[in-house]
Structure 1
């Protein structure tokens, strides 16, 4: 009598990829609303362009590889990749920037490796780094946070006009640097932290607007932890090492090294710690390995921000640690059940 055989896993969480991706989208909504509040509607245009490009590119690559479209298009991974990349782009970047970055991410960082589950590098970060290196001017031209009572952000029509025609409306102080970029530039010019923070770009915690956006990313990350979409290991290690290093150097030379609070509330810190570094495909597999992986991202981020050529460093740190994942997994793999680990 033949007996049926079933492949592992025999016990699973009860959720599928599309449900997990939907939880990630839910967790991003508060930060999206804050982003719109401080920078206008450009983020919605970016998300629309990146998501449409991601889905179309995914469909074309699946067709070229002879894979079923309905199964893989419905998993939501392309939508999440496009959304995460959009959050990394300046609010009013030209339309072709998100299109090129997303298409490159989907083709070269995902499907050429075999699709979801086989890519060694985070696709959104691959697309972002390509854009940052290839188009530095467009990728560093940010709309400054506006005083909503005096000079509100551009409305949707003005934003669309600028993104697709490059014709700027009549506004004061149209473009500017991020708090991280401005701080790095001014420190190299010999100015002290106290002088730098007197600039209108900064508020009580850090950069105006950026602290609130990072705060909402943090709350979204807490939601993912509560729903068990991610584990605590990677975010804790990323933020813990970044906190420790920035506190130590700020304590030693407070007028040259920014405080830990500034690092935690600036740039892509919380987005990277909770939404990008925790990608289950490209991150370390074991709990102990995730701690090493996250610690590497946190340390590299601080090194790049402080002594490197780029103001943030999250994307480069994630990709560098993606390279180290096979080694981390090899040395941190748990022993097989029933076997004693070699000493």
Structure 2
């Protein structure tokens, strides 16, 4: 029997598919420090971002054949080392694209109309309704603004699709992508499909021209946007990071927010999760969420089914 440890959980749809194929799927969480003892008896492990699968753990598990990541980023797995050892590594790059893209716009709307601040302040016991109405009466519309997208893979293209549909000017940058065809569905009395070709531009152009910049890249071990990059951005522009903590230098980000260089920032991911910098969290121009980009019912179901399909394809169904 194939034994799978879904250490960070798996959607019931995916679990059912695996169990129908006579796989054993265990979902009880094993602490990171205990995996060395527990994982050697398993053929596969399913993780999200919490569980780390590093060289030492891989070496301790000679029976391990599959490492599956319920999500996109693989920075919590020593991928090259695992593959060199003959272990297959899978992720789910398509399953959560829509959910992450929608969260990007949730934050953008929140920042543009001060929703994050209104929700904090209007519920206070001493809230002054008229004063708050006046303070937050100078919001901005997204239509007509320039949306910069750094990383133009599946998620970046989904962000572009929404932005174009809203009437935003889209600038995308990705060294691996020259252009992408973005399909847009319009619904009225009947559905109409339009295709818009977006050609990528230099990173520097995105910095200089964008009102909002959103990142959709894997971790590269360093910040892609720091003090020098922020200096090249428009005054009053916004940064959105739903990709990986550390893509934006948090110290430089906080400095730019304090000086007014940036109009605001939206963060779903942080350098020191699960205890991010409290000064950054509490800054009035920051909209935050606790790493929930892929955390919708639909995305988790898609992820569970996609992982199950890949694992089944790898091992095959059992009699």
Bin of the TM-score, shorter chain as denominator length: under 0.3
| Structure ranking higher in helix proportion | 1
| Structure ranking higher in strand proportion | 2
The alignment's TM-score, normalised by the length of structure 2, stands at: 0.27
